[in-house]
Copies of this chain bind each other. A is one copy, B any other.
Amino acid sequence: MQDNEKKNKKQEIYREAAKLFMEKGYNAASMRDLADRVQLKASSLYSHIGSKEEILVKICFDNAHRFTEGMDKVEKMNCNTAEKIESLLKLHIRTAIEETTAVTVFNDEWRHLSEPYLSDFISMRKDYENRFRKIIKLGVEEGDLKNVNAEVMLYSLLNSVHWLHKWYKPEGKIKAEELEKDIIEMLMGGVKIER
């Protein structure tokens, strides 16, 4: 029972830390801030966690794994490249909606990781981007996608969905399904009506 309570407190600390890092940024968020939010003194946090950075490490790598696993599945799909890209975009959009705080920290605060975490994180991200780029290049070769620089296409797509959390509020007017549909339509088909 006590063990269970401790686990709950630990989860609560992680959850509130993610929110705090999102709101203030990792460096500006202090352990005293965090302690206030979970109704503890700062020193008591250390009965549940080892360090401030431990929290950042967990958030960053949990999310990195999520995207890596998503990529594993997409690569195995038996469909054309445009559909693969749509699947990846959906993965980003859904994660941004369902795990807003975690994704925000993952996107904005990873650079405050110290070594060796920082290097590991960067290689995981590079690996993900390489696999995404490969799909784009194949799509261009096969005539599925427009002949635009693969680098430009990769990051234009990723940026559009990567920073969703900066403006989209799941509790707002726009429903998740509409968001997903409209973004995919825009990115895949463009904004302009030809006439």
Q: Size band of the A side of the interface?
A: 35 or more
- Interface stretch, picked from A44-52, A53-61, A152-160, is A152-160
One complex includes copies of this chain to the number of: 2
- A112 lies within 8 A of B28 (CB): yes
Interface residues of A: mostly helix, strand, loop or mixed? Answer: helix
- On whether the beta carbons of A163 and B174 are closer than 8 Å, the reply is no
A124 contacts partner chain B, Cβ-Cβ < 8 Å: no
Closest chain B residue to A178, Cβ basis? B149
8 Å CB interface, A175-194 against B: 178-179, 182-183, 185-194
A25 interfacial contact with B, CB 8 Å: yes
Is the beta-carbon distance between A191 and B146 smaller than 8 angstroms? yes
Q: Output the nearest chain B residue to A27 by Cβ-Cβ distance.
A: B27
Complex: how many Å from CA A60 to CA B186? 30
A82 in the interface (beta carbon within 8 A) = yes
Min C-beta distance of A53 to chain B, whole Å: 13
A184 to B187 CA separation, bound complex (whole angstroms): 12
Structural contact, B193 and A145, CB atoms closer than 8 A: yes
- In the complex, the chain B residue whose C-beta lies closest to that of A157 is B191
Interchain CB contact under 8 A, A189 and B190: yes
Of A28, A82, A145, A156, most buried by chain B (CB within 10 Å of CB) is A156
Measured CB to CB, the nearest residue on chain B to A147 is B193
The answer to whether A153 touches B167, judged by C-beta atoms less than 8 angstroms apart, is: no
Q: Which residues of A contact B (CB under 8 A)?
A: 25, 27-28, 82, 85, 108, 111-112, 143-146, 148-149, 151-153, 155-157, 159-164, 166-168, 173-174, 178-179, 182-183, 185-195
A-B contact pairs, 16 of them (CB 8 A): A25-B111, A143-B195, A145-B192, A145-B193, A149-B179, A149-B182, A152-B183, A152-B186, A156-B160, A156-B186, A156-B187, A159-B159, A159-B161, A162-B163, A186-B190, A190-B190
